[in-house]
Structure 1
């Protein structure tokens, strides 16, 4: 079966919650205001695509490829990125709600999280080398055996991670964000 190839197409205000997006390879496509929540985006290939003001909460994305894909102003609650084809994953998130999402075990070097909510997001065993978390809420985000070498946390808030259980060599912290490294010790700093 030949896979359809769709390039440069704009999808605007379409609903894919009960009817699925046609199975294809999507390149340089823009999805704006589209609804995917609780739907199916599995076994799709997205390259150099942009999702703007879309709701992908709890969408099935198993075996899909997201290569050079930007999510802007999107709702991605509970999305299990760990189920995607991780061999070509390259993502950027701007002003997105990624609460309860999971990136377990993925290799996501140089990923940008800008102005995002990452409440209880799971980064266990994720390689986030040289990734940037700008003005993002990391309340109860899980970092266990995570590679955070050269990651930038200077403007995050609600950060709590254990230096003993993660690789943080040359990670960048502000004076305020570094306090999250001490939170587990339950000490008072004035």
Structure 2
């Protein structure tokens, strides 16, 4: 059985809940306004692809490869990124809804999250070094034994990161969001 290979193609307004996505490798492809909600997108390779205005909520991405993939204005609620293919994993997120997703035990160094909603996202035991959390809402996000060395939280908000339970060497925070590092101590900052 040969895998399908798709190069530099554009997919627009395709509802993959009705039209089955073909297994294979998608190289340098663009997906515009497509619906992947709840489908099995397992064992697919996405290399240097862009997803714009797509819905990935509750999509099954077991062993799916995201190699240098950009997600822009995508709805990605409840995605189990911890099940993806780890080989050359590299993603960026802009204007995305990632609530209730999981990056559990994943290595996502140098990932950028810009204007994203990451409420209740699980970053337990994640290696998230040199990540950028730019203007990103981290309300209820779980950081436990997470390596956040060199990551930038200067414009992030609503986070609660215990410095005793996470690695924060050279991580950047602003004076305005320091409370997110101290909230476990029940101290009053005015």
* Cα displacement string for residues 105-159 of structure 1 (whole angstroms, at most 9, x for unaligned residues): 1111100000000000001111111000000000000011111000000001101
Instruction: Give the whole-Å Cα distance in 2 for the aligned partners of 1:165 and 1:21.
Output: 41
SS in 2 for 1:122: coil
Instruction: Give the whole-Å Cα distance in 1 for the aligned partners of 2:142 and 2:88.
Output: 24
Normalising by the residue count of structure 2, what TM-score does the alignment of the two structures yield? 0.98
Q: How does 1:48-87 map to 2 (within 5 A)?
A: 48-87=48-87
Query: Structure 2: where are the runs of 5+ without partners?
Result: none
Superposed structure 1 runs of 4+ greater than 2 Å apart:
none
Instruction: Give the whole-Å Cα distance in 1 for the aligned partners of 2:164 and 2:87.
Output: 28
Instruction: Note if 1:100 corresponds to 2:100.
Output: yes
Count how many residue pairs are aligned between Structure 1 and Structure 2: 190
Instruction: Give the whole-Å Cα distance in 2 for the aligned partners of 1:87 and 1:146.
Output: 20
Normalising by the residue count of structure 1, what TM-score does the alignment of the two structures yield? 0.98
Partner of 1:128: 128
Query: Structure 1: where are the runs of 5+ without partners?
Result: none
Q: CA deviation at 1:18?
A: 3.9
Partner of 1:143: 143
C-alpha root-mean-square deviation of aligned residues, in Å?
Answer: 0.7
CA contact (8 A) 1:20 1:41 kept: no
Q: CA deviation at 1:179?
A: 1.2
